[in-house]
A and B are shown apart, each in its own frame.
Chain A
Amino acid sequence: MSVQLIKGNTAVIVGALYAGCDCYFGYPITPASEILHEASKYFPMANRKFVQAESEEAAINMVYGAAAAGHRVLTASSGPGISLKQEGFSYMAGAQLPCVIANIQRAGPGLGNIGPEQADYNQVVKGGGHGNYKNIVLAPNSVQEMCDLTIKAFDLAFKYRNPAVLLSDGVLGQMMEPLKFPEKAIEHKVDTSWAVAGNAETKKNLVTSIFLNFEQQELFNVKLLEKYEKICENEVIYEEYLTEDADIILVSYGISSRISKSAVEAAREKGYKVGLFRLITLYPFPKKELLKLATEKNRVFVAVEMSAGQMRDDLALAIECKRPVELVARYGGNIIEMDAILKKIEEIYEKVDF
C-alpha cells in the first residue's frame, strides 16, 4: 500500500479517482482551489473529464447535467462559492441526483477571509437551498479522511440518489499528512434504472423536480422524507473517545475535534473525567447515541466548534435539552485553543457537583 505526504485538498482528488468519479466541474476559490488544480492535472491523465466552469452556478449545473446522465461527479468550493451553488443543491435533491460536493470552509459572512471556520454548518446541514430536502454531510478530521470520506460520500450519494457534502475547512484542506492510498478502485457503471444516458435503454427515464400538481408535489416530499428517515436510521457515523465514565462530554467535528481530543487527554491528566463524542456524519446527526449519553448519567455537554453555536443547537435538540450544553467557539479564521477548552472544563467542575 502506497503512503504519501500530501495536502488535504489533494486527498479529495485521490479519493474521487479511487471512487470512480469520472467528471470534475469547478471554479477557483481559496482555500479550495488545489482540488481544482489537481483535478485539472490528474483527471485528463486518467481519461476522466475536467471542465473549469465560468462561475460556481455553472459548475454546479454541469454537475446536475452529468449526474443526470449517470456519471459520478465531484465539485468543490468554499463558503461564498457554496452560497452561489445553493440553487443547484436544491434542484439535485429535488431531482434525486447523486453527486459529491466538497466545501473547504473559510471565514464569513460575506467575503470574509480565507482562514478556516465551520460556520457553513447550518447552510450545509440544514439544506441551504429552498424546499424540504437534506444533504448527506460527512465531516473529515484528517488528510486520510479527506480521501476516505470522499469515497464514502460517493457510496452514500449513489445509495440514496442524493447530494453528499464533504464538509471540511481551510486547515484540513491546506495541511499535509501521510495518506495511505485506498486498496481498491471502484469502477463506475451507469445505473440505467434512473439515469438518462442518451441511449435506447434509458429513453423512458425522467430526471425532473417539477410537479405542477400539488398532491403529486406533496407525495414527492413525503417520499423524500421517507428516504431521509432511512438515512438517519442506517448511516450515522461517529467516534467516541473516553465517554463511558465522563462527566463532561465534548462534542465536536472536523479540525475542532482534533483539538478537543488533545483537550480530553490534557484534562484526564489533571484528573477530570472528560470524553469526546466526535461527529463524522453531521446529517444524519447521531441523535440516539447522544440522547443515551445524556440520559444515563448526570453530565454536561460542551460543543466545540468554529461557529456561533450552530452545531450546539442540533446537540441541544438531540439530547432534548436534558443536560446543560456549553459552547467553546472561535470565529473569523481563528482556531480554537486547547487551553480555552480546558478553562471551560475547569469552570464546569467549579459549578457542577457530578
Chain B
Amino acid sequence: MSERFNLLTPGHSGCAGCCDALAAKYVLMGVGEDVIVVNPTGCLEVMTSPFPNTAWNVPWIHSLFENGGAVASGIEAALKSLGRKGNTKIVGIGGDGSTMDIGIGSLSGAFERGHDILYVCIDNEAYMNTGNQRSSGTPLGASTSTSPPGSVSYGNPTHKKDMTRIMAAHGSPYVATTSIGYANDMIRKVKKAAETVGPTYIHSHAPCPTGWGFDSSKTIEIAKLAVETCLWPLYEMEDGEVTQVRKVKDPKPVEEYLKAQKRFRHLFKMEDGDKEIEKIQKQADRNIEYYGLNK
C-alpha cells in the first residue's frame, strides 16, 4: 500500500485543500501502478505537470479538453493491436466541464464501442481552471462567474446533469458515485471498476475551496455534508441496476451544506431565496426516496 501512496507525489501546485489532488490520489490507490492515465485539460493537468516537472509516477498523457474518451480508446486499441494490453488499465481522469460538457460525445463513443477503460470524473461543479464558470455539473442556485445572482437571477438556473446514469445507460458493466469525503469507499469502488472488464465509470463529488468559497481546511467536511444531506447519494450500479447504496441514517437539512459555502450565500439573503433552497431540499428528498437512502 505504501508504494501506492506515492503514485501521485506531493509538491504539485494545487491550492491548499485541493479536491483534485485528493481524488487523483485515491484513484491511483485504487487502480495501482499498472495504469496509463489520460488526463484532459483542467486544474489537475495544469497543477501536476508544469514542464519540466511532473507529480505522476505512472505513465500519463495529457489530451485536449474534449477528447479524453477518444485518446483513452486509442491507447487501449493500440495496446490490444500490439498484443500488449495485458491487465494494464487505461484510466481517464477529467473534470466536470471536460467530462459532462465538451467531452461527452467522445466519452459516449468510447463507452458505446466497449473499450476496456475506466473513466473518472472529478466533479467540482464548475470550470475551476478558467475562473469558475458554470458547467452542466453546477447545482441549482450556485453562484459562478457565468451564473451570477442578481435582479433577474438566483444563480445557476438548472440542476446537475445525472452523468452517472447516462454512463450506465451506455451498457457499462459498472458505474459508481464516490466522494472525496469517503476515501475508503472511493478507493474500493475505483478498484472494483478497474478490475471489471469493459468501460467503467466513477463520478466523484469534489468540493473546491477556491471556487465554492470555504476554508481550505474544510474540504472533507463539505464533502461529507453533501452526502449527509443526501444531495450527493453514494451508490453503485452493475449492468444498469443499482446494487449498493450508502445509507444516511438521519439526513441533515440542505441548509447545513449550503450555508457553509460562499457560492450559495445569496440564497440566504435574497428575497424568495428560501424558495430556491426549498427546490434544493426537494432534490435531496427525491434522492432519499429514489435510492432509499434512509431505509
| Residue B2 lies at the interface, judged by CB distance under 8 Å to chain A | no
| Residue A28 lies at the interface, judged by CB distance under 8 Å to chain B | yes
B102 with A40: CB separation less than 8 A: no
In the assembled complex, the Cα of A44 lies from the Cα of B151 at a distance in Å of 9
B residues within 8 A CB of A123?
Answer: none
| Residues 26-45 of chain A, each 1 if its beta carbon lies under 8 Å from chain B, else 0 | 01111001001100110011
**B contact face: mostly helix, strand, loop, or mixed:** loop
**Cβ-closest chain A residue relative to B100:** A54
Please report B residues at the A interface, Cβ cutoff 8 Å: 41, 62, 64-66, 97, 101-102, 104, 127, 129-131, 133-134, 136, 145-148, 150-153
B41 with A28: CB separation less than 8 A: no
What's the least CB distance linking B264 to chain A, in Å?
Answer: 18
In the assembled complex, the Cα of A126 lies from the Cα of B232 at a distance in Å of 49
In the assembled complex, the Cα of A33 lies from the Cα of B62 at a distance in Å of 22
| Residue A178 lies at the interface, judged by CB distance under 8 Å to chain B | no
B41 with A33: CB separation less than 8 A: no
> Which A residues, 77 to 91, have Cβ-Cβ distances below 8 Å to chain B?
80, 84
| Residue A111 lies at the interface, judged by CB distance under 8 Å to chain B | yes
A residues within 8 A CB of B129?
Answer: 30
Picked from A40, A54, A80, the residue with its CB within 8 Å of the CB of B145 is: A40
| Residue A52 lies at the interface, judged by CB distance under 8 Å to chain B | yes
Please report A residues at the B interface, Cβ cutoff 8 Å: 27-30, 33, 36-37, 40-41, 44-45, 52, 54-56, 80, 84, 111
Picked from B62, B102, B133, B151, the residue with its CB within 8 Å of the CB of A56 is: B102
A54 with B130: CB separation less than 8 A: no
What's the least CB distance linking A291 to chain B, in Å?
Answer: 42
A28 with B146: CB separation less than 8 A: yes
Picked from B136, B146, B152, the residue with its CB within 8 Å of the CB of A54 is: B136
Picked from A30, A36, A45, the residue with its CB within 8 Å of the CB of B152 is: A45
A residues within 8 A CB of B145?
Answer: 33, 36-37, 40
A52 with B146: CB separation less than 8 A: yes
A40 with B146: CB separation less than 8 A: yes
A residues within 8 A CB of B133?
Answer: 28, 33, 36-37, 52
A52 with B66: CB separation less than 8 A: no
